[in-house]
Amino acid sequence: MGEKTHRPPVWLMRQAGRILPQYRALRSKLSGFKELVETPHLAAEVTIQPVDELGVDAAIMFSDILVIPEAMGLPYELIEKKGPFFPRTITNQADVDALLDGPEAANELSYVYDAIRIMKQELAGRVPLIGFAGAPWTILSYMIEGSGSKTFSKARRLLYTNPAMAHQLLTKITKSTIAYLKNQIAAGVNIVQVFDSWAGVLPPEMYNKFGLPYIQMICDAIDEVPVIVFAKDAWFAMDDICSLDCNVVGLDWHMEPEPFRAKHGTNKVVQGNLDPTILYADHSVIKQRTNDMIKQFGGHQIVNLGHGVYPDTPLDGVKCFVDTVKQYEFNKVV
Ligand code: CP3
């Protein structure tokens, strides 16, 4: 909310997951990732693990951005050591026409809302709960490519070869995402984050046409709770992102605090943005870098990494990061 605090709050993207031995132990007993996502009490358990183990200031619901394509009619799989995979992808207009959208799609995800209710009950007000969704461009990319990609060339080429179909697909995704986030809020999340993980693969002109307007629609529709927009590698679009009707702008590690503040002032709370690989370094380095970053952002910051924590990060490095933030005091030279 941009309120003054005695120290900045801290959480980590991907805090729930393989960095924690408790997660790996639970996960090894299951058939796969989807069983965890789709079983509300298990999703709640792994959501709360980092709150207990790391002492972070927020929980982020355990789920995935890919539940939205599945709810619209394109099921996903998570292949061990390879990542997401869609057996069917969107290849033509009939595929787009066949997709569910809006509340009809969002209502397929009752396991998420059930999980949120358990999470809220088990958190019992200790820390807020963050909900999330993928940004429409990132979700479209998976629906067209069928997996991650180095270039996202199939998704990018669609914007030139069939822009009308791209806009229709983005519109359907956006309607589903708005209904989905509203259902998350009704179930109890306190703030939502929109992840545009693949913003950086588009030329600025195309991001202005096919990325930002759809994020703006989401920001316009969600007025019940604060909204965080995190667009990875979108340094070229920061002016426009800072003019979105969102409360918090997430930054990756390409953005330097002082130039960012000089250019964009303090009209938004910023979230970020330590390079996640710093957490592999000596603890003196982690402390120094974390304190320097907080000082340079000068308040109005939610401390986080510049992207999700890597799964093989040493747990004591993650703890050192969180503890350093918790020991920080504004107005005290560190
Ligand atoms: O702690 C949290 O941040 C909450 C849970 C969360 C997951 N995925 C769990 C997960 C969140 C917020 C996401 C978002 C997500 N999923 C994004 C956007 C954020 C980003 O990283 O840019 C994207 C692009 C995805 C798609 C996705 N899901 C990928 C690329 C992968 C494979 C990752 C890998 O490292 O293998 C997943 C699976 C996934 N989602 C895992 C987790 C903990 C790994 C699951 C496992 O093997 O146990």
What does the pLDDT average to over 292-315? 95
Total count of domains within the chain? 1
Establish if 301 belongs to a structural domain.
Answer: yes
Q: Which H or E run contains 216?
A: helix 212-221
Establish if 15 belongs to a structural domain.
Answer: no
Establish if 125 belongs to a structural domain.
Answer: yes
Q: How far is CA 194 from CA 28, 40, 131, 132, 222, in A?
A: 29, 22, 9, 6, 11
If pLDDT is split at 50, 70 and 90, which confidence band does 76 have?
Answer: very high
- 67-78 as b/e: b if 16+ CB within 10 A: bbbbbbbbebbe
Establish if 82 belongs to a structural domain.
Answer: yes
Establish if 16 belongs to a structural domain.
Answer: no
Establish if 308 belongs to a structural domain.
Answer: yes
What is the pLDDT, as a whole number, of residue 332? 74
What is the pLDDT, as a whole number, of residue 4? 87
pLDDT, tens only, 145-158: 999 999 999 999 99
DSSP string of 273-312, one letter each residue? EE-GGGGGS-HHHHHHHHHHHHHHHTSSEEEEESSPPPTT
What does the pLDDT average to over 305-327? 98
Atom of ligand 1 nearest to the CA of 27: 48
Establish if 92 belongs to a structural domain.
Answer: yes
Establish if 314 belongs to a structural domain.
Answer: yes
**Which residues are known to be catalytic?**
14, 18, 27, 64, 142
* Residue pair 280/314 in contact by the 8 Å Cβ criterion: yes
pLDDT, tens only, 159-185: 999 999 999 999 999 999 999 999 999
* CATH code of the domain covering residue 200: 3.20.20.210
Residue numbers of the domain that contains 120: 21-332
pLDDT, tens only, 209-240: 999 999 999 999 999 999 999 999 999 999 99
CA of 23 to the centre of ligand 1 (A): 13
User: Which two structure tokens, joined as six digits, stand for 272?
Assistant: 């970020």
> In the structure, which protein residues have their CB atom closer than 6 angstroms to any atom of ligand 1?
13-18, 27, 33, 60, 62, 64-66, 78, 83-84, 132, 148, 195, 197, 232, 308, 311
